[in-house]
Structure formats: structure tokens, C-alpha cells
């Protein structure tokens, strides 16, 4: 793609930042989750991974686009207090190791990368806190989820490093790094690690996690699904989406294939390349509001692969409301033939539910 294409610089920098963060999170997993004996509820590896990945990506964005605000999932409050000293030191060391690693092809030192670009503790904590932006209707902003699918990360399953650029409430660029996703779904035990990228109007692509800046990538198009071939993509965690509702939607549509469950925005990547036919995420009814960083990059990826993404009523997602998508009507993403059918079935299942509750 010529350099003159819209968002060409943003795209390259976002891919480089996400790749570095993926190297970091993979090494955190290998060092902390696999080798240390952890109790089941110990969340420290994910905390180390989240904070240091956000420090790395925000440092790069701060250097390359200093005027752009960032809506990031994490903030550094817990690291500034005395009790956070050990965690803070670990995070600073990891973030600096990641930023100062040798340049790979396509990276530029002026992006804040390479051996001369170590940061002080204060600089890195401030970088994490640059994710405090509250979002809004107008202007440019980035949104970052340094580890999406924390539960999957801890299980050694799917998780994703997710970064998007939003301009005047519209997602213009999305980059999703999936260190554990098989390069091809048809070879699940084959090599793993992919980056997905989409710029609005320029298509959706899968790149290798190793050396993504030198690769043209594979263009993604959502294939056509029939009732026989359709499978749903859904969360692993029952607390995140109402899986029983999906079962009813499947019955209404006559879906026979079992759903494919995976954590994180890897679901959007799987949809974009045809591993699954529809992603359904209906609210569990807890009043939780979906966060923009959990859907922004995935939404542009799906749209650029030829799909449609809306809430459960068929209305567009609104990325201009702040840090959340507002009242939770769920999320439905699918190819353009399947999407209206899924929405019709969702509305029917919803009406049944309401009729039931009035008995
Ligand atoms: N009650 C809820 N309903 C919907 N999403 C929720 C939720 N509680 C947490 N989440 C979000 O679900 C994300 C993971 O989604 P998935 O189930 O698709 O893997 C989490 O991202 P993090 O892991 O980044 O915190 C978190 O933001
Ligand atoms: Mg998330
Ligand atoms: Mg997260
Ligand atoms: Mg979280």
C-alpha cells in the first residue's frame, strides 16, 4: 500500500506497538504463568502483563502522536502507592526491556523504539495514565485494551492485544494481536500468532506476528454461511454473555453446529476469516456496560471483511458516548447475509423471554 493511503503511518505504528506488546505478554505468560506455581485465583501475571503492555503502547503513541488522547483500560493508581512497589518495579523493567529491544524491519527509532529509548519510572507511570481519557463524540482518540480476554490469558488460551483509532466517533483503524491464535483454523495444532489489521475503506488483513511490517498479509473476506455450515462464536465466560440465549437463537435459526467458544476479540478475527459465522454477545442482565476498547478494533475488522456489526436490536454501535457503548443491548456481528437473520431470531428470542417473564 502506498504511503499516501489514509492512516498509513498510524497503521504501521499501531502494528509495531501491538507486536511489541504481544512479545511482552507472551514472555509474561511463559515466565510467570507457566513456571511459577500460582494459585487458581492469583491475578498477578495478568496485572503485570496489562500494565506493562499499556505502558509500552502508550509510550509509543505519546512519542508518535503526542496530541492524541487515549482511552485505555488500565490506570497506574495501584502502582503509585507504597504497597505497589514490587509490582511497579517488575512492570517498569518489563516495559523498558520491550521498548529497548532491537528494531525489527519496518520499525523506526523515532517511534521511541530501540536500545536508546529506555524510560524513567515516572515517564512510564505517566504513559499508563495517559489512558485516562474519557472519550467523546468528536476528535481523534485511540482506545487500548492491553490484554483482552484476561481469563483466557491465564488459562493459556485465547487473548488479544487490541488497539483502535477513532475519529469523530467512527473507528478508522483497528489492530488486534493474537499470540495464541493458530495461523490457520484448519490446522489448530500448527503455528500460532497473528496480527489482524483493518483501515476503513482499505480492507481487512491477517499478518504474521513475526515480522508483520514486512508482510503484505492475507486479505480477509467473510464467506457465505448456510444454516448447515453456520456456527456461533461466543465467550467462554458465562458472566460475560448470556450463552443460554444464544442456544435459543440457534434453535430458531435451525443451527446444528456447536458454538465455538473463545475469549477476547479473537472472536472478531475468527469471524473475519470465516472460522465462525456469527458472533453473539447478549447481556447477562447485570447492568454492565460494554467498553469501547472491547469492540472498537473488532468492529472495523468485521466491517472491512464485508460483515455487519450492530447491537442486539440491529442498531449501530456508538463509539462517541465515552468509555462505554452506553446501555447494553448486546452485540451481533456476522456476514451481511447472515446478520439480518440473526437479528430477526434475536428479536424473536427476546420477545419469547419477555412473554415468559409476564406469566
Ligand atoms: N458482565 C460483563 N458483560 C460483558 N462483558 C464483560 C462483563 N464483565 C467483563 N466483561 C468484559 O469482557 C471482556 C472479555 O470478553 P470475552 O468474554 O469475549 O473474552 C473483558 O475484557 P478484559 O479481559 O480485557 O478485562 C471485560 O471487559
Ligand atoms: Mg477487554
Ligand atoms: Mg483487558
Ligand atoms: Mg479487564
Among 302, 339, 294, smallest CA distance to 144 is for 294
Tell me which ligand sits closest to the C-alpha of residue 265. 1
Task: Identify residues whose C-beta is under 5 A from ligand 2, the ion.
Answer: 145, 148, 294
Among 181, 151, 147, 187, smallest CA distance to 163 is for 147
Given the candidates 3.30.540.10, 2.40.50.100, 1.20.1250.20, 3.40.50.460, the CATH classification of the domain at 8-220 is 3.30.540.10
Is 318 labelled as part of a ligand binding site?
A: no
Q: Is the CB–ligand 1 distance for residue 149 below 6 Å?
A: yes
- The residue to which cell 480477509 is assigned: 220
pLDDT in tens, 2-46: 457 999 999 999 999 999 999 999 999 998 777 665 555 566 778
Tell me which ligand sits closest to the C-alpha of residue 293. 2
Determine the Cα–Cα distance for residues 175 and 18; give it in Å rounded to an integer. 7
* Beta sheet of 232-234, edge-to-edge order: 260-261, 232-234, 278-281, 331-335, 307-310
SS3 assignment for the chain: CCCCCCCHHHHHHHHHHHHHHHHHHHHHHHHHHHCCCCCCCCCHHHHHHHHHHHHHHHHHHHHHCCCCCEEECCCCHHHHCHHHHHHHHHHHHHHHHHHHCCCCCCCCHHHCCCCCCCCCHHHHHHHHHCCECCCCCCCEEEEEEEEECHHHHHHCCCCEEEEEEEECCEEEEEEEEEEEEECCCCCCCCCEEEEEEEECCCCEEEEECCCHHHCCCEEECCCCCCCCCCCEEECCCCCCCCHHHHHHHHHHHCCCCCCEECCCCHHHHHHHCCCCCEEEECCCCCCCCCEHHHCHHHHHHHHHCCEEEECCCCCCCCCCCCCECCCCCCEEEEECCHHHHHHHHHHHHHHHHHHHHCC
Distance in Å, CA 319 to ligand 2 centroid: 15
What is the model's pLDDT at position 4? Answer: 75
Enumerate the β-bridge partners of residue 161: 177
As assigned by CATH, the class of the 232-357 domain is: alpha beta
Is 311 labelled as part of a ligand binding site?
A: no
For the CA of 149, the closest atom of ligand 1 is 23
Q: Is the CB–ligand 1 distance for residue 43 below 6 Å?
A: no
Tell me which ligand sits closest to the C-alpha of residue 331. 1
Enumerate the β-bridge partners of residue 204: 198, 220
What is the model's pLDDT at position 37? Answer: 53
Contacts of 115 (CB under 8 A, 6+ apart): 100, 102
Q: What global pTM score does this model have?
A: 0.97
121 catalytic, yes or no?
no
Distances (CA, A) of 75 to 125, 126, 221: 8, 9, 36
Distance in Å, CA 286 to ligand 4 centroid: 16
Contact 293, 145 (CB under 8 A): yes
- For atom 3 of ligand 1, the residue with the nearest CA is 240
- For atom 8 of ligand 1, the residue with the nearest CA is 240
Q: Is the CB–ligand 1 distance for residue 234 below 6 Å?
A: no
Counting as low any pLDDT under 50, the low residues of the chain are 1-2
Contact 330, 234 (CB under 8 A): no
Ranges of each domain in the chain? 8-220, 232-357
Determine the Cα–Cα distance for residues 298 and 236; give it in Å rounded to an integer. 17
Catalytic, out of 64, 98, 150, 310: 150
Q: Is the CB–ligand 1 distance for residue 240 below 6 Å?
A: yes
Query: ipTM, 2 decimals?
Result: 0.99
Amino acid at each position: 500500500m502506498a504511503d499516501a493511503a489514509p492512516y498509513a503511518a498510524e497503521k504501521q505504528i499501531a502494528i509495531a506497538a501491538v507486536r511489541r506488546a504481544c512479545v511482552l505478554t507472551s514472555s509474561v505468560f511463559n515466565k510467570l504463568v507457566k513456571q511459577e506455581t500460582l494459585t487458581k485465583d492469583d491475578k498477578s501475571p495478568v496485572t503485570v502483563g496489562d500494565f506493562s503492555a499499556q505502558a509500552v503502547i502508550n509510550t509509543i503513541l505519546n512519542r508518535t502522536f503526542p496530541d492524541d488522547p487515549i482511552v485505555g483500560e488500565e490506570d497506574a493508581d495501584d502502582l503509585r502507592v507504597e504497597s505497589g512497589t514490587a509490582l511497579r518495579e517488575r512492570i517498569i523493567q518489563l516495559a523498558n526491556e520491550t521498548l529497548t529491544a532491537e528494531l525489527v524491519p519496518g520499525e523506526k527509532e523515532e517511534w521511541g523504539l530501540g536500545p536508546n529509548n529506555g524510560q524513567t519510572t515516572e515517564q512510564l507511570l505517566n504513559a499508563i495514565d495517559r489512558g485516562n481519557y474519557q472519550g467523546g463524540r468528536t476528535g481523534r482518540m485511540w482506545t487500548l485494551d492491553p490484554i483482552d480476554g484476561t481469563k483466557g490469558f491465564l488459562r493459556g488460551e485465547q487473548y488479544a492485544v487490541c488497539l483502535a483509532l477513532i475519529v469523530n466517533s467512527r473507528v478508522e483503524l483497528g489492530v488486534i494481536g493474537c499470540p495464541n491464535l493458530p495461523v490457520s483454523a484448519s490446522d489448530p495444532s500448527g503455528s500460532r500468532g497473528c496480527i489482524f489489521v483493518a483501515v476503513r475503506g482499505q480492507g481487512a488483513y491477517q499478518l504474521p506476528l513475526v515480522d508483520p511490517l514486512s508482510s503484505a498479509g492475507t486479505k480477509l473476506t467473510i464467506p457465505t454461511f448456510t444454516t448447515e455450515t453456520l456456527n456461533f462464536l461466543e465467550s467462554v465466560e458465562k458472566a460475560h454473555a448470556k450463552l443460554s440465549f444464544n442456544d435459543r437463537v440457534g434453535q430458531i435459526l435451525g443451527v446444528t453446529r456447536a458454538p465455538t467458544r473463545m475469549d477476547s476479540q479473537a472472536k472478531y478475527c475468527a469471524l473475519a476469516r470465516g472460522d465462525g459465522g456469527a458472533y453473539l454477545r447478549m447481556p447477562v442482565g447485570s447492568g454492565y456496560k460494554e467498553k469501547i476498547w472491547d469492540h472498537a478494533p473488532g468492529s472495523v475488522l468485521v466491517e472491512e471483511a464485508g460483515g455487519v456489526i450492530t447491537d442486539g436490536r440491529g442498531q449501530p454501535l456508538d463509539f462517541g458516548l465515552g468509555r462505554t457503548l452506553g446501555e447494553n443491548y448486546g452485540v451481533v456481528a456476522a456476514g451481511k447475509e447472515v446478520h439480518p437473520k440473526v437479528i430477526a431470531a434475536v428479536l424473536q428470542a427476546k420477545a419469547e423471554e419477555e412473554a415468559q417473564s409476564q406469566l
